[in-house]
Structure formats: structure tokens, C-alpha cells
Amino acid sequence: MSTDAPTGSRTGTPTSTPTGRRPHGGVGDALRLWWDALARPTQWALGVPFILLVALLPVLQIPVLTTVGTSFGAVLAQFGMYALIAIGLNVVVGQAGLLDLGYIGFYAIGAYTVAILTSPASPWNQMGVDGWLSQDWAWLAALPVAVAVTAVSGLVLGSPTLRLRGDYLAIVTLGFGEIVRLLADNLDEVTGGGRGLAQVAYPRLGESDANPNGVFSAGSGSGVLTSGVWWYWTSLVLIVVVLLLVGNLERSRVGRSWVAIREDEDAAEIMGVPTFRFKLWAFVIGASIGGMSGALYAGQVQFVSPTNFNVINSVLFLCAVVLGGQGNKLGVILGAFLIVYLPNFFLGRTEILGLPIDGTRIAELRYLFFGIALMVLMIFRPQGLLPVRQKLLAYGRTLYLAARRASTQPVVKEGS
Amino acid sequence: MPLLEITDMTVAYGRIEALHGVTLHVDDGELVTLIGANGAGKTTTMRAVSGIRPLSSGSIVFDGQDITRMKAHVRVAEGIVQAPEGRGVFAGMTVMENLEMGCYARTFASRAEHDATVDRVFELFPRLAERRTQLGGTMSGGEQQMLAIGRALMARPRVLLLDEPSMGLAPMIIQQIFRIVSEINAQGTTVLLVEQNAQQALSRSDRAYVLETGSVVRTGPGKELLADPAIKDAYLGVA
């Protein structure tokens, strides 16, 4: 964004400007410029009500928006998990530019960590009389353990493989995802093999006559306030925390290094960026966020089995990131929402705007439609729905303020 | 004692050896040129000095310190900075952001010192000052080359490695780039230059090495090599 004398590029199309400055003029850009120029307290004052509104979506039951085939709360709970995954995967793929096709592996490790620690079917169950987990808080206590275990697994996978680049890294990570799934399928004694692990712990809160197992138990609640809504709210809290952490990282020297690595790894190295170390950081941070999402999944479904961690889901996660806009946190959350919501929107719907449709069939064919959507997107908007605008630490908000000031001043002709 | 001393350096890509025992040195304050045809090993030499390519044998000593096994990003902090072949400009970053990346490994004593460095780069390349908010990837080849050199200067190099700065540029721009390289050298920065444009490079350098299929075949003062009929015949394209 321009800090100095403005050029005429705000009006013309990007390609028509001789200097080829960053294109201005889109609605998104205007919105971004407006938002970034706001003072921090103002951003909070506007952001918090917005988040509350998003949180109240399942309760408000907005007519067309609400799903008919499944509970809207459950759909949003799934969205929460996918949003977390998208944010984590975005650190790896969008920020550092490392193509990870086995991200589902971390999700699985997070889910299995919680399940192994809390399921009665597991040999390492810690919920029993001599276990170190309390009955009521087991899930919450297992959550940081799951995050730590996935972080370590990210380190273990990353240390040898991050010396590879591009396609080679993608293939190795693809293999990793499969290895995790196959291990889960074959280590019968620990993971229960194909039978999976049932009765995974969940937060025991709000127990009452209507909900004897608390509001978080599967199948609890009636009407709008189902267990899905509670899980959705839990994931929203985690998303906000993760967004703040990742956002701060992106604005720091770490984020700057990631962008440089993404753009040109060799050039970054000869600028003095310890590329391997920062790639490993991206991998570990991405992995732990994926593990967090897996822990949510295990708690909500209370059951994990290998079939939930197929490669196709890995691709679906990547699809959310690419669709929303690699590198843009809000973009990838939007991507996650579309990936989760659209099939559920059609599920069980028999008509839309008076036109009769077979919604369930459409939902079944979701991979076909996502495939087509991705191809169309790659042709017309390869940067994703909400593309990234990288701003570096050196400028931050001052730059946006300057850009705004500049746009209110008369256009100065540039001498060149 | 030379600032940069490369002894019997061998570099291989898999089983193919690209450099077979290259020995050369650069003294403090010198402008030394490496000329040679395509595939002679010029860029490999640069990559090895920068630390992106490991040595199979031989050693690199910089300022009395053996840096043969030193990681590339650590060498930058030590003062070995390269403007790579093909420029390596960060396409998605603005000119200013690219320059900021240049001083990634450097700590400034004060904001003023930082600003002075930026000013110096803009003095050498006024073009960059005009385009400071433009994206690196949208600039012309010549501008990108200027940015690559300017970015390297941000790190305050003790030895500046320039890999084919004239590649793919118009004659006018080549002249300009070479003038600036001389100026940078005159201001006290040691320069190791790799070039195919032998005429320009030799006339401006203190000393030069001629690289042929991975070995140094000639060395001497730039002007002397320029006058050598064999060199003229092979690299200057004059009959």
C-alpha cells in the first residue's frame, strides 16, 4: 500500500497502471483499508459484537440459513473444527508455503490422544479409579496433552522431511497421513483397531434432569440448544484464542520469515533467514492447532475410528484453505464454512426458491461440486475468495493510516 | 591476508562434479571478477560461497575464519551477502519490504542508522526510491536487479557477491548497473562479481579469474586479461 505520493492506480485496472502498484479499488480492499486504519480499541468494539452475532447464529434460527437435514448446531460445531484446522493448515500452506497433504494425520493424533487417555476401551485410560484424570474435567485436561503430543509429532515429521521441497514434501506428508491412519487401524491393543475407541470423555457441565449427562453429551438438549451449539461455542473460544496467537506471530519477525520462505526459499536463506528453523516452527504450530481440532472432534463425537481420517478429508481441508484464500485467516475460515455448510445446506432440502430439488443427492455429490468449484476458482480467482495482502512488521498500522491520508489528498503526478 | 580465500573447492551435484578444485582469493576492498562461458561453474561458485551449496572438498576462509561448514544464514550475519542470479526478488513484497528483508540478519544501533542505510541505497538507486511501494514482481528486469543489489547492501556486506547482474538487461541498463557496482566498490565494499559480459566486467575489476568447465584456467589483473588475445577470442566475441 502506498505510503508516499499516491499514483493514479486507485482508479484504473491494475494492469493499465504503468507502475503496477498494488491494485486498489475492490470492495475487499476498501474494507481492509478501513479496518486496518481503525484504532485497536475500535477494532475490539466492532469485533466483539460481530463474534457474538456469529456465536448466536444457531440460536437465532434464521429461516433460509438454517439447515433442514441435520441440526444447525451440529453443522456449526463441525464448522468450528474445520475452521480451526483451516487456520492451522493456513500457517503451514498459506504462510510458509509448505504443501502439506497429510494434515489429517495431526487431526487424528489429537483425536486419538484424547480417546486413548479417556476411553474405557483404551489400555491407557486415565479415567478409572487409579487414573490421574478427574471424571468431570478429563476432556479439558486432555486437550493440552493432545496439543502437546501433536506438536511433538509435527517436530518428528518435520525434522527429516522439511529438507525436501515442493512436490517431494507433499508426497512425504501424504504418506504421513496414511501412516497415522494405518497405525490407528492396526495397533489393535491401543487404538482398538477398526472398532475404534468409544465413550470418549467430554466436559461434564450443566447436568440437569433434562440433560443427565450435561449439555456437551451427544444427543443432549432439545430444540435449538443442542450439544452441537455448546461445542460450537467451545470451538469459537478456541478459534479466537488461536487467531490472536497466530495473528501476533504473523505480524512478528516469524511471520516475515514465513512470507520470505514462501516467496523464495533460497533468497530468504541468503538474506539471513534460518529457513529450516522457521519451516519447522510453521509445521509445529500448524500441527498443534490441528491436534486441538482433533481433540474437539473426539469430545464431540465421543468416538474415534480410523475411517474418519481418510486422505479425502486431508484434501478437503486443503480445499477449504485454497477456496478461502491462502494466507488470509478470515478467508480460510470462510472456506471452512463453505466446505462444511454447503453440503449440509442441501441435505434434506426438497425445494429452493420454489424450485424442486433433490438436496440429499446434491449433498452426496459434494466432492464433484467442490472439484468443479475449485477449477472455476483457479481460472477466475486463483488467489481464493478472500486473497491475502501481506503487510510486514516494518509498517503495520502506520502504513495504512498513511495510505488513507494519501487517498484524501489531491493526486500528485509521479516523476519518473 | 585475503578477506575471502577459497582453496581447492570441489562441488558436486549428485555424481556430477561441477567444480574441480577451484582456488581463488579476494582481498579487502578489491573488485574481483569471475568470467566464463555457460556451465563453467560461476554460479555454483557463488552458491558455495553463500553456503546454499555444500562443498565436497576444499575450504572457504573468510576473514581468517573457516566458514566451509557454516550455514548460509549465518554467513550473512558475518558479512557475506549475495544478490543471486535471476535476482531472487520477493515478488509479492514491495520494494521497501524487500529492502527490509535485506537487513533481516542485521541489528541496527539506532533507527537513524537504519534510515541512513536506506538513504544510501536510494542514493545509489534513485529509481528504487520512486518505486518504494511497488511490488517487486511487477518491476522491470533492470529495476529488479537494482532492487536485488540494494537489498544485499542493506545487510552491510563485507563482501558483496553479484551473480550476473547484467543478465537479460538492455545495454543502457547494463552500463548503469556496472557504474553503480564500481561506485559501491569505490565506497569500500569488497565485490566478487560473476559475469558473462566480460568486456564491462574486466575493464572495471582489479583482478579476474577465468573459469572453464569447473576449473580456474587464467588469472590476472582485469585490464591485462582484457588485452589478452586468447581471452578476447573466447569471451569478448571479437575476431
Question: What is the span of the domain harbouring residue A295?
Answer: 71-309
- Non-local CB neighbours of B124 within 8 Å, separated by 6+ positions: B149, B150, B153, B180, B183, B184
Res. A394 pLDDT band, cuts 50 70 90: very low
| Contacts across the A-B interface (CB distance below 8 Å) | 98
Winning range, highest mean pLDDT, from A157-166, B185-194, B225-234: B185-194
B130 touching chain A per CB within 8 A: yes
Using left for φ > 0, alpha for ψ between -120 and 50, and beta otherwise, residue A306 falls in: alpha
- To the nearest whole Å, the CA of A34 is away from the closest chain B CA by 19
Q: Which of B81, B85, B94, B160 to mutate to test the interface with A (most CBs of A within 10 A)?
A: B94
User: Whole-angstrom Cα distance, residue B184 to residue B150?
Assistant: 10
Which residues contact residue B12 at a Cβ distance below 8 angstroms, ignoring those fewer than 6 apart?
B18, B56
Task: Tell whether A81 is covered by a domain.
Answer: yes
Domain-embedded: residue A322? no
- Contact list in B for residue A271 (CB cut-off 8 A) is 73, 76, 101-102, 104-105, 151, 155
Judged against a pLDDT cut of 70, whether residue A1 lies above it is answered with: no
Position A5 scores a pLDDT of 39
Bigger pLDDT: A388 or A72?
A: A72
Lowest mean pLDDT among A86-90, A389-393, A407-411, B224-228: A407-411
Nearest to B90 among A3, A22, A267 (CB): A267
Give chain A positions within 8 Å (CB) of B82.
270
Q: Chain A partners of B52 at a C-beta cutoff of 8 Å?
A: 266, 269-270
Q: What is the mean pLDDT of chain A?
A: 83
Residues from chain B that touch A400, judged by Cβ atoms under 8 A, are none
- pLDDT at position A398 over 70: no
Contacts with B, A 253-292, CB within 8 Å = 256-257, 259-260, 263-264, 266-275
What integer pLDDT is reported at residue A58 of this predicted model? Answer: 85
Question: What would the mean pLDDT of A274-297 be, rounded to a whole number?
Answer: 96
Q: Which of B73, B76, B100, B131 to mutate to test the interface with A (most CBs of A within 10 A)?
A: B73
Q: What is the model's pLDDT at position A389?
A: 67
Query: Residue A88 domain-assigned?
Result: yes
**Mean pLDDT computed over A208-228:** 76
Is A125 a domain residue?
Answer: yes
Check residue A21 and give its pLDDT. Answer: 44
Q: Answer whether residue B238 shows pLDDT above 70.
A: no
A303 occurs within a structural domain? yes
Give the lowest-confidence range in A115-119, A192-196, A386-390, B199-203.
A386-390
**Mean pLDDT lowest among A44-48, A407-411, B50-54, B220-224:** A407-411
Least confident of A22-26, A36-40, A219-223, B22-26: A22-26
Q: Do the chains contact at B92 and A259, CB–CB below 8 Å?
A: yes
Q: Which chain A positions have a beta carbon within 8 Å of B130's beta carbon? A: 414-416
> pLDDT higher for A33 or A257?
A257
pLDDT attached to residue B115: 92
Q: Residue A411 pLDDT > 60, yes or no?
A: no
Measured between beta carbons, which residues in chain B are less than 8 angstroms from residue A392?
A: 93, 97, 100
Q: Which chain B residues have a beta carbon less than 8 Å from that of A6? A: none
For residue A148, tell me if it sits in a domain.
Answer: yes
Q: Phi and psi (nearest 5°) for A305?
A: -145, 155
In A, minimum Cα distance to B90 occurs at: A263
C-alpha cell at B32: 574481483
Give the bridge partners for B59, in sequence order.
B7
The answer to whether residue A399 sits within a structural domain is: no
Instruction: Name the domain count of chain A.
Output: 1
Least confident of A23-37, A180-194, A220-234, A276-290: A23-37
What mean pLDDT is predicted for residues A234-245? Answer: 95
Total residues belonging to chain A:
416
B106 to chain A: nearest residue by CA?
A: A272
Instruction: Residue B115: list chain A partners with CB under 8 A.
Output: none
pLDDT at B231: 83
Q: Once rounded to an integer, what is the mean pLDDT over residues A280-297?
A: 96
Per-residue pLDDT, A10: 35
If you average pLDDT over residues B69-82, what whole number do you get?
A: 94
Residue A276 pLDDT exceeds 90: yes
Q: What is the pLDDT of residues A251-262, one digit of tens each?
A: 889 999 999 999
- What's the pLDDT at A171? 93
Q: Decide if the complex's ipTM is over 0.95.
A: no
Give residue B237's pLDDT.
65
- The 3-state secondary structure of chain A, one letter per residue: CCCCCCCHHHCCCHHHCCCCECCCCCHHHHHHHHHHHCCHHHHHHHHHHHHHHHHHHHHHCCCCCCCCCCCHHHHHHHHHHHHHHHHHHHHHHHHCCCCCCCCHHHHHHHHHHHHHHHCCCCCCCCCCCCCCCCCCCHHHHHHHHHHHHHHHHHHHHHHHHCCCCHHHHHHHHHHHHHHHHHHHHHCHHHHCHHHCEECCCCCCCCCCCCCCCCCCCCCCCCCCCCHHHHHHHHHHHHHHHHHHHHHHHHHCHHHHHHHHHHHCHHHHHCCCCCHHHHHHHHHHHHHHHHHHHHHHHHHHHCEECHHHHCHHHHHHHHHHHHHHCCCCHHHHHHHHHHHHHHHHHHCCCCEECCEECCHHHHHHCHHHHHHHHHHHHHHHCCCCCCCCCCCCCCCCHHHHHHHHHHHHCCCCCCCC
Least confident of A86-95, A214-223, B139-148, B220-229: A214-223
Tell me the C-alpha to C-alpha distance, in Å, between residue B112 and each of A22, A88, A331, A348, B154: 28, 38, 38, 66, 14
pLDDT at residue A14, as a whole number: 37
The arithmetic mean of pLDDT across residues A286-309, rounded, is: 94
Read off the pLDDT of residues A103-153 as tens digits, 9 standing for 90 and up: 999 999 999 999 999 988 888 888 777 777 777 788 999 999 999 999 999
- Report the residue from B50, B72, B133 with minimal CB separation from A3: B133
Measured between beta carbons, the chain A residues lying within 8 angstroms of B46 are none
User: What is the rounded CA–CA span in Å between residue A330 and residue A89?
Assistant: 13
> Hey, is the C-beta of B129 within 8 angstroms of any chain A C-beta?
no
Q: Which tens digit of pLDDT belongs to each residue from B100-125?
A: 999 998 888 888 999 999 999 999 99
Decide if pLDDT at B21 tops 70. yes
Cβ–Cβ gap A272/B76 under 8 Å: yes
User: Which range among A401-405, B15-19, B22-26, B168-172 shows the weakest confidence by mean pLDDT?
Assistant: A401-405
Confidence of residue A63 (pLDDT cuts 50, 70, 90): confident
pLDDT of residue B234: 81
Beta carbons of B133 and A1 less than 8 Å apart:
yes
Average pLDDT on A382-398 reads: 63
CA A164 to chain centre: 25
The whole-angstrom distance between A328's CA and the closest CA on chain B is 14
Please work out, in degrees rounded to the nearest 5, the angle formed at the alpha carbon of residue A388 by the alpha carbons of A382 and A389. Answer: 125
**Looking at the domain assignment, is residue A289 inside a domain?**
yes
- Determine the Cα–Cα distance for residues A221 and A214; give it in Å rounded to an integer: 9
